[in-house]
Amino acid sequence: MSETRIRSEVEGDVAILTLDRPEKLNALDQAMIAGIESWVDAVEASRARAAIITGAGEKAFSAGGDIAAWADLDPIGFARHWIRTGHRVFDRLARLRQPLVAVLNGHAFGGGLELAATADFLILETHGRIGLPETGIAMAPGWSGTQRLVRRFGAAVVRRMALAGDMIGAEEALRLGLVHQVVPKGEGLAAGRALAARIAARGPAAVQITKQLINAAEGEERDAALESLAGGLVATTADLAEGVASFREKRAPRFEDK
């Protein structure tokens, strides 16, 4: 994925994605967003039990959407190809069946914070800050900064970041529950690997089902989660096996009384 400025690797049971554009503070463009979606496809189809997303360099996890990637789009193109595409990809990332750890190796601003908020766990290095600076350039958060972030962080702190432009440092972010762990500079990925290994050592089916239930309680994917869990339960039954067999054999099914 080098042409998309995305690096991916697998370490045992853990899939790792790195935003690899440090000279631009890992700002996101269309190719990187497409690369993230391709990575989601690959991880969903893999045997990975946990996943990590992080950034290259020492300054930023991601400074957000690259202004050069969207500034010249007309309003329809901006809404259709930038906002909607980003939403689709970030929604898929939030609903990844494997637990996701975001390792913030530096600042996470705007779309970078919206990306980080798709994760189940956030680890922030001490020098990093988080914020939603969009209104400062007359833009509104576009990738669920006013929706998923409110559900996960709470409306009060999102108002501070999105309306007043507050940038929140690591210790305050930990105190407010915006991140789950703060570690010294340069130690984020090691902490992320340790957490992912702990997750991967637990029962994989139970972990993935529990993640779906938590997402449903949070309003992330209630309808899909209910139908997915119901389908998984039905798939274990003798009734389904008989139904499929009768279809293949072109006969009426013979379901047994329970």
Domain ranges for the chain, please list them. 2-200, 204-248
At a CB cut-off of 8 Å and minimum separation 6, what does 198 contact?
A: none
| Confidence class for position 230, pLDDT limits 50, 70, 90 | low
Residue 229 has pLDDT above 90, yes or no: no
From 11, 58, 114, 187, the catalytic residue: 114
Q: Is 228's pLDDT higher than 70?
A: no
Does the pLDDT of residue 8 top 80, yes or no? Answer: yes
Task: Give the residue among 71, 91, 70, 65 at the shortest CA–CA distance from 81.
Answer: 70
Contacts of 33 (CB under 8 A, 6+ apart): 85, 86, 89
Q: How far is CA 86 from CA 83, 174, 258, in A?
A: 5, 27, 48
Q: For the chain, what percent of residues have pLDDT higher than 70?
A: 93
Q: Which of 3, 9, 134, 249 is catalytic?
A: 134
23 is catalytic: no
pLDDT category at 244 given cuts 50, 70, 90 is confident
pLDDT tens for 124-172 read 999 999 999 999 988 889 899 999 999 999 999 999 999 999 999 999 9
249 catalytic, yes or no? no
Of the ranges 71-80, 110-119, 203-212, which one carries the lowest mean pLDDT score? 71-80
Q: Does domain 2-200 have CATH number 3.90.226.10?
A: yes
pLDDT over 90 (residue 38): yes
Per the CB < 8 A criterion, the answer to whether 93 and 44 are in contact is no
Query: pLDDT tens digit string along 77-125?
Result: 777 778 888 999 999 999 999 999 999 999 999 999 999 999 999 999 9
